[in-house]
Amino acid sequence: MTYIAPTILSAILISHPHAVHNAVGMAMALQAEGKLAAFETGIAFGAATVLGQVAQAATSRYPLLRNRILTAEPVRSHPVVEAAARLLARMSPQNQRRANLYNNLFTFHDWAVATSRWPSSVTAVYAYEDGALRTFQRAKRQGLERIWDLPLPHYATIEALINDERRRWPDAMTGPTYQEPDWKRRRKEAELGLATRVSVASAFTRKSLEGRTSLPVHVTPYGFPVEEFTARAAPPTGPFRVLSVGTHDLRKGTPYLLEAWKRAAIPDAELHLIGPLRLSKPFLDRYAGLFVHRPHAAKKELADIYPTADLLAFPTLGDGFGLVIQEAMCCATPVVTTPCGGGPECITDGVDGWIVAPRDVDALVHRFRAAAADRDACARVGRAARARAERGTWTEAGRSFLREIGA
């Protein structure tokens, strides 16, 4: 029989190794409802503290500091732990740095939180996949409820998806068959085994857990970042432009996007890809000259880029959510995406965006051509997207989460 802790969630401790949007948003939302015991994270500054004010003064020179100044209180920062994780990752071979950074950040932070002094008021711990094991072990010893946040679909779902796509597009990706290391599999399964509840942002992620746990799995979509991404004053002019933001690879459905754009053959139109492009050169050569690629854009830059596009394309095959959907919608840029992420949680098809079937090249071609043929109608959908965003703030997301868990 699976143990379910009693629903007494008056003070929740949230743990995440760095100040990502979804963790910060949840912390702020719980604070607004008087349910936050503390937010344990890496390098961060409370906005009301002296260090926070110093950091704010330095943002003109170091703009990335803005992401580390938090209004959620109390913030319990572990700067030495994050700095050590980053330093050790930089000492790794170049091809291992990205993976080692992620692994170091989560395992080091988990250890730091598990050995730190927790507020006596804590009744539940909310921790994220790969960074919850030791924290949950301690919480279990103390009889606290353990909420495991799964930000991506279950690893077995992702493995199966990527390896299936490799068979569909054999020349698109190089390297060995995708699989999580055994030690990470064991860690993930142990975390899930210690949890008393699971929190996910989309029905797609919840579906990936079917048959893998008997725990209650709560779907709470992320709040829209309406303060960071403002609505454009007017629709774009000039060439019809489609934008795609994020990592561009098999899981994100990039081959289907490129094939659809090629077939759509819209005169004088532009496809812009922003973010890492992780597909083989022989594959990309088939689409040479059909798109513009920019390897990176900071969040502040994206706030200026989204409004220049008629449409954001996010044809993912397996995402936990997809923050770019919300960012574009906040800018009144409509989105076409699939049900394999947070699209259904954010979009009513044909009203404030579009949902198409995964891998459906013909559906993408139709949407691109229709949007290009009637840019005014496309812009109206974008304005409806912004209205949808304004109704879905993080405050509402926090209330939705608390209703879900009965707190």
Q: What is the pTM of this model?
A: 0.92
Residue 30, domain member (yes or no): yes
**What is the predicted pLDDT for the residue at 277?**
95
Q: Answer whether 337's CB lies under 8 Å from 357's CB.
A: no
State CA 340 to chain mean position distance.
13
Residue 5, domain member (yes or no): no
Nearest to 234 by CA among 388, 376, 390: 376
Strongest mean pLDDT among 73-87, 97-111, 184-198? 184-198
Sign of the CA dihedral with 362 first, then 364, 366, and 369 last: negative
**What is the predicted pLDDT for the residue at 8?**
54
User: Which stretches of 235-326 are assigned E, i.e. beta strand?
Assistant: 241-245, 270-274, 292-294, 311-314
Whether 37 and 146 share a structural domain: yes
Whether 201 and 89 share a structural domain: yes
CA atoms within 13 A on the CB side of 353: 33
Q: Quick one: pLDDT band at residue 4, thresholds 50, 70, 90?
A: very low
Whether 399 and 349 share a structural domain: no
User: Which residue type sits at 125?
Assistant: V
Mean pLDDT of the chain: 92
**What is the predicted pLDDT for the residue at 59?**
75
- Rounded to 5 degrees, what are φ and ψ at 168? -75, -35
pLDDT in tens, 13-66: 999 998 888 999 999 899 989 999 999 999 888 777 877 777 777 777 777 667
Q: Quick one: pLDDT band at residue 1, thresholds 50, 70, 90?
A: very low
Full residue range of the structural domain in which residue 192 is found: 12-223+394-405
pLDDT in tens, 212-244: 999 999 999 999 999 999 999 999 999 999 999
Whether 401 and 369 share a structural domain: no
Of residues 406 and 391, the one with the higher pLDDT is 391
Residue 228, domain member (yes or no): no
Whether 315 and 367 share a structural domain: yes
Residue 194, domain member (yes or no): yes
State CA 354 to chain mean position distance.
19
Residue 137, domain member (yes or no): yes
* Domain total in the chain: 2
pLDDT in tens, 139-183: 999 999 999 999 999 999 999 999 999 999 999 987 777 889 999
Residue 299, domain member (yes or no): yes
Residue 115, domain member (yes or no): yes
**What is the predicted pLDDT for the residue at 403?**
87
**What is the predicted pLDDT for the residue at 6?**
43
CA dihedral 46, 50, 56, 61 (to 10 degrees): -130
**What is the predicted pLDDT for the residue at 56?**
75
Residue 337 pLDDT more than 60? yes
Whether 64 and 206 share a structural domain: yes
**What is the predicted pLDDT for the residue at 65?**
66
Nearest to 131 by CA among 66, 184, 206, 208: 184
Whether 197 and 332 share a structural domain: no
**What is the predicted pLDDT for the residue at 173?**
82
Read off the pLDDT of each residue in 378-386 and give the average, rounded to a whole number.
Answer: 98
State CA 335 to chain mean position distance.
16
pLDDT in tens, 318-327: 999 999 999 9
Whether 194 and 307 share a structural domain: no
Residue 5 pLDDT more than 50? no
Residue 4, domain member (yes or no): no
**What is the predicted pLDDT for the residue at 64?**
66
Q: Which of the residue ranges 76-80, 301-305, 339-343 would you say has the lowest mean pLDDT?
A: 76-80
**What is the predicted pLDDT for the residue at 7?**
47
Whether 184 and 253 share a structural domain: no
- Domain of 72, CATH number, reads 3.40.50.2000
Whether 177 and 264 share a structural domain: no
Whether 181 and 297 share a structural domain: no
Nearest to 161 by CA among 322, 318, 361: 318
Please give the share of the chain, as a percent, with pLDDT higher than 70.
Answer: 96
Considering only CA atoms, give the Rg of the chain.
21
Nearest to 77 by CA among 36, 102, 113: 113
pLDDT in tens, 74-99: 888 998 999 999 999 999 888 788 88
Nearest to 70 by CA among 117, 104, 121, 29: 29
Whether 32 and 121 share a structural domain: yes
Q: Quick one: pLDDT band at residue 288, thresholds 50, 70, 90?
A: very high
